[in-house]
Amino acid sequence: MINRRELISYSLAGAGLSIAGVPMAALAQQTKGTINVMVQPEPSGLMLGIVQNGPTQLVSGYIYEGLLRYDEKLEPHGLLATAWTRSDDGLTYTFKLKSGVKWHDGKPFSADDVVFSVDKFLRKTHARLRASLEPLESVRAIDANTVEFKLKYPFGPFISLFDTGSMPMIPKHIYENTDFATNPANAKPIGTGPFKYKEWVRGSYIQLVANELYHTKGEPMVENLYFHIIPDAASRAAAFESGKVDVVPGGAVEFFDVARLAKLPGAAVTTKGWEFYSPHSWLVLNNRKAPFDNPKFRQAVMYAMDREAMVKVAWQGFAKTAAGPFNQHVKFASDDVTKYPRDLNKAKALLKEAGYKGETVKLLPLPYGESWQRLAEMIRQNLIQAGIKVETTGTDVAGWNQRTAEWDFDMAIIYVYQYPDPALGVARTYTSHTIAKGSPFNNIEGYVNPKVDALFDAGAKALTDADRAKAYAEVQKILTEEVPVAWLHEINFPTLYRTKIKNPISSGVGLNDSLSRASIG
């Protein structure tokens, strides 16, 4: 988190300054091609092959590119690739690359860059992609504009790996034979994207400018993107309210502020643009310790929670009660699962069957703002009403990361991106081979079921969608019966924007790439 004094000072206008030190001249050019966006918190870096957190993806998704991009239905479209084929046995993928593409320094982009990016750079630096590349046997350049990927075995979601955030292309001529982590280009990133890095004033703003060599005709449609760093949530809301910021990504202001801000003249809100990420929240239950080692106790937790009320109060309607372990945007999500409407009588009966003796359990909230605190308090009250003694133990973001990654919790609130396919973002939460300290985004609950392991493996490797669907339908039934975690909500993060910004969301990753196709009207 950024601990800096509020950077907006409206009195600075007379001195020629406005938001976070950006010149008033730049803000005055909004109708001529500048879009002002919030980024929260400040990115830790902009080299997308090394840093993959949300703020970095928001900014660097305009600097770097993948071979494909994905629409709101999660269908692939060409970006640096123009065509692709899969062999009948599902083991060979061949991509044709767009010709004439140049890096921001003017050097040509080619298949050699793809091979270097995937096989050398990202295997080393990108932990999430590295796990998904386990099926990859080889990648080679057939010619300057053709790349072939060979797999050891069929891997259903392979075609979903080529987005910019998962597989950004890295310039071989800059990074080959260097220390990737300390290469000077990390501070001034070079990609093939529609915008180029211009300036980063720490604690204030990041400026990107249009790439005059961009390979897609008519893009980008604006001259500048400014990403403003405003640490205080109330001040972020005030910046949009005053008209000095055009776009507010989901989660950058409190949910209870969104409805009010969306009613301002010339303002609008959308929940589009999160389909690729499929944000899913739940209450992690530490299966290693009593009483959470008993499935009946875990089921009681599910029945105790009024998740519909949480949608209304904590999320102001910008969420949907989760049916189970799969966000409904994830491929093969099934509704044929055990349901858990609020039922205090069932919860109390299950607690009795589980032999719960009234011991105190501790709840670790997610320290991401007031909306998440409201959610935690509602969970605590619901569980107490069912007869479970609960204490809340607060911490900051660093503390939450450490405690969850080291399994130092009873119950912890979390949300993760599940991505388009269960093999990419769902299996990691429930398969036993992902149980490892060091990350909060794997099987931190310690759930073990060999049949679940086998079904996730079968679903990932099956060649046909019918076989994949069969495996994933069965695994969803098992998980909703055993309740390794207590599912909460599918979060529909709201994006606020000025109506003068036309077409602000035009892909399944939303603001992480759409502003290159946006215009100012």
Which pairs count as long-range contacts for 177-183, CB under 8 Å and 24+ apart, including other chains? Answer: 180/49, 180/50, 180/121, 180/124, 180/125, 181/50, 181/125
Tokens of 214: 């961009």
Asked if residue 511 lies in contact with residue 37, where contact means CB atoms within 8 angstroms, the answer is: yes
Measured in degrees and rounded to the nearest 5, phi and psi for residue 365 equal -70, 165
Residue 285 neighbours by CB under 8 Å, 6+ apart: 292, 298, 301, 410, 411, 445, 483, 484, 485, 486
Residue 11 has a pLDDT of 30
Nearest to 53 by CA among 432, 440, 388: 440
CA dist list (Å): 164 to 64, 308, 457: 7, 35, 26
Q: What is the pLDDT of residues 220-260, one digit of tens each?
A: 999 999 999 999 889 999 999 999 899 999 999 999 999 89
Residue 32 has a pLDDT of 60
- pLDDT confidence bin for 127, thresholds 50/70/90: confident
CATH superfamily, domain 10-63+193-272+494-520, is Periplasmic binding protein-like II (3.40.190.10)
Q: What is the pLDDT of residues 488-521, one digit of tens each?
A: 999 999 999 999 999 999 999 999 999 999 999 9
- pLDDT confidence bin for 4, thresholds 50/70/90: very low
Distance, in Å, from the CA atom of 216 to the CA atom of 100, rounded to the nearest integer, reads 10
Nearest to 272 by CA among 192, 334, 329, 355: 329
Q: Averaged over 205-232, what is the pLDDT?
A: 96
Statement: 279-491 belongs to CATH 3.40.50.720: no
Nearest to 491 by CA among 415, 406, 384, 429: 415
Tokens of 260: 């009010």
Distance, in Å, from the CA atom of 504 to the CA atom of 381, rounded to the nearest integer, reads 39
Residue 9 has a pLDDT of 33
User: Under DSSP, is residue 247 helix (H, G, I), strand (E, B) or coil?
Assistant: strand
Let me know how many helices (H) and strands (E) the chain has, helices first: 18, 21
CA dist list (Å): 227 to 88, 211, 230: 45, 17, 10
Radius of gyration of the chain (CA): 24
Statement: 68-175 belongs to CATH 3.40.50.10320: no
Q: What is the pLDDT of residues 296-335, one digit of tens each?
A: 999 999 999 999 999 999 999 999 999 999 999 999 999 9
Neighbour count for residue 140 (Cβ, 10 Å): 13
Map out the domains of the chain as residue ranges. Answer: 10-63+193-272+494-520, 68-175, 279-491
Share above pLDDT 70 across residues of the chain, in percent, rounded to a whole number: 94
User: Under DSSP, is residue 314 helix (H, G, I), strand (E, B) or coil?
Assistant: coil
Residue 27 neighbours by CB under 8 Å, 6+ apart: 18, 19, 34, 36, 244
